[in-house]
Amino acid sequence: MPPRNIIIIILTAVISYFCYEKARRDHYAGLFAEAIDHIESRYVEKVEHRELFEHALNGLLGKLDPYSSYIGPQEFSKFKEDLDQEFGGIGIIISPNMESGHLTVLSPVVGTPAHRAGVMAGDTILKVDDESLEGMALRAAIERLRGLPGTEVKITIERGGDKETHEIAITRAIIKMLSVLGDTVNPDGSWQYFLKDHPSIGYIRLTTFGEHTVDELRSALKSLPNQEMKGLILDLRSNAGGLLTAAIEVSDMFIGDGAIVSTRGRGGAVQSVEMATENIEIDEDLPMAVLINGFSASASEIVSACLQDHHRAVLVGERTWGKGTVQNIIPLEMGKSVIKLTTATFWRPSARNIHRSKDATEEDDWGVRPDDSYEVKLTGEEYGKVVAARNRADWGNSALQTAEGSQESNALEEPTSEDAVAVPEVVTSDETEAADENFEDPQLRRAIEYFQDQTESASSSAEAA
């Protein structure tokens, strides 16, 4: 057969295949459009075409896995703010007051519009732009506090025991959320990156992996007096993850060579292997401990698994969540909305699996486990006490000084600031409160014991020499 005829046959086959695929897709698209037409014309109540479309996309992506989803224009704005670590707002840490139904200011963030306008820890927000917050859902209240930088919002607050109300007009600005925190706060709002009761042990908390996390962590590490340090604690507990690139760069700060993480696509094909670049930010001989728990996920698991596999840190706490998938953000409508689609899985340097499948058992290999003898499980009550103790350390002093009438703000800067998060309200009796003041975080204590053991071991070796 002449070569020309062979080429014609091949082209005909290829064109036929694509025509078949297009016809198959058009058939399903037509079926969807037909169903939409029936709903719009015959459903008992009037429905918006856009609403039906968004519900359909949510259903389509939601059936794939728990992490693929459609993010509409309004939700995408909030999603982007979380990753960018900044938003338009006034700059306050808030908590719902279960008793009054309003919001309580735990602290204004130093240097923000709320701080400059005189908002104080302990203030109760009654209204936003004359609209009562009583009984309003937290997210709805948050949306009213946030807004475009340069716009004005009026809040009505109640201060002190006299129930006197005040109206404060505040011009919104860009609020930058920190993702790297320490143990205690200086009066100017900066963090101390070492343990208050153990100043020779560095302590750094990562609350998320955002656009500025790497720079924040690098700055925190440079502030540590390396020559006086006995160890460094990296607290990744309840860190749900964030940007893959941030997790890779954070890991790269602590290891000199080797793989950090690999990603695999459809069929298990390796897509990429991320390698260390020798950009170490801290002495490789400095002992490290990483705190993890069941709410440490995704990027947190990449970092903790990498440091464990390279024997760079001991892992203390509880087994992590087990989210080992990568989601790509794919824009729709010229970037107004997006789909978050799972496109790959990520694997440890040891090539072990991290992702917990829906039918996985406790015995299966998923997540990141603490090192032998360093597993410290918390009861629900203990976990609540850990959170309460952390909240007291972060915000307690500020609230106390304000209640005493001091006009000198000791407000604390918190990355999930203002309307970004609700801090659980802890209601206790005076007796329980006094007892909880002496509560010691069991997982943190175990990490401290690790450094003490390392110091004793080094001393014994020196004496033997």
pLDDT digit string (tens) for 305-331?
999 999 999 999 999 999 999 999 999
No. of H helices and E strands in the chain?
12, 20
Residue 358's pLDDT band (boundaries 50, 70, 90)? confident
User: Residue 184 CB: number of other CB atoms within 10 A?
Assistant: 17
- Burial environment of residue 325 by CB neighbours within 10 A (0 to 12, 13 to 18, 19 or more): middle
Averaged pLDDT, 295-309: 97
- pLDDT, position 270: 94
One-letter amino acid of 327: Q
Q: What is the token pair recorded at 253? A: 């700060």
Domain ranges of the chain: 84-176+382-427, 180-377
Q: What is the token pair recorded at 202? A: 């560095």
CA-based torsion, 162, 121, 102, 87: positive or negative: positive
Torsion angle of C-alpha atoms 382, 397, 94, 167, degrees rounded to 10: 160
Q: What is the token pair recorded at 330? A: 């794919």
- pLDDT, position 146: 92
Residue % of the chain over a pLDDT of 90: 54
- pLDDT, position 411: 25
- pLDDT, position 225: 81
- pLDDT, position 279: 84
335 pLDDT more than 60: yes
- pLDDT, position 161: 66
248 with 302: CB under 8 angstroms? yes
pLDDT digit string (tens) for 70-123?
999 988 888 888 778 888 999 987 877 767 778 888 778 777 899 899 898 788
3-state secondary structure of 263: strand
More confident residue, 293 or 30: 293
- pLDDT, position 395: 66
CA-based torsion, 395, 398, 403, 404: positive or negative: positive
pTM over 0.75: yes
Range with the lowest mean pLDDT among 103-112, 279-288, 384-393? Answer: 103-112
Question: Does residue 309 have an active-site annotation?
Answer: yes
Range with the lowest mean pLDDT among 49-53, 66-70, 95-99, 226-230? Answer: 95-99
Range with the lowest mean pLDDT among 64-68, 410-414, 442-446? Answer: 410-414
pLDDT digit string (tens) for 201-228?
999 999 999 999 999 999 999 999 877 8
SS (H, E, C) 334-377: HHCEEEEEEEEEEECCCCCECCCCCCCCCCCCCCCCCCCCCECC
Question: Does residue 323 have an active-site annotation?
Answer: yes
pLDDT digit string (tens) for 411-432?
222 223 333 333 333 333 343 4
Least Cα distance to 139 among 74, 85, 80, 58 occurs for: 74
One-letter amino acid of 161: G
The string of DSSP letters for 281-319 reads -S-TTS-EEEEE-TT--THHHHHHHHHHHTTSSEEEE--
The whole-chain average pLDDT of the chain stands at 83
Q: List C-alpha distances in Å: 358 to 109, 183, 366.
A: 41, 37, 11
Partners of residue 184 on adjacent β-strands:
192
Q: 69, 95, 298, 300: which one is catalytic?
A: 298
Residue recorded with tokens 């694997």: 347
Residue % of the chain over a pLDDT of 70: 82
Range with the lowest mean pLDDT among 157-171, 256-270, 278-292, 368-382? Answer: 157-171
Q: What is the token pair recorded at 159? A: 């201060």
Q: What is the token pair recorded at 289? A: 């401990």
Domain over 180-377 is classified CATH 3.40.50.2000: no
Least Cα distance to 68 among 332, 338, 335 occurs for: 338
The reply to whether 180-377 shares the fold of 84-176+382-427 is no
Q: 296, 323, 398, 417: which one is catalytic?
A: 323
302 with 252: CB under 8 angstroms? no
Q: Indicate the class that CATH gives domain 84-176+382-427.
A: mainly beta
Instruction: Name every residue whose Cβ is closer than 8 Å to that of residue 322 and which is 6 or more positions away in sequence.
Output: 297, 301, 354, 355, 356, 360, 366, 367
Cβ burial 78-99 (10 Å sphere, 16+ → b, else e): bbebbeebbbbbbbbbbbbeee
Q: 252, 309, 394, 419: which one is catalytic?
A: 309
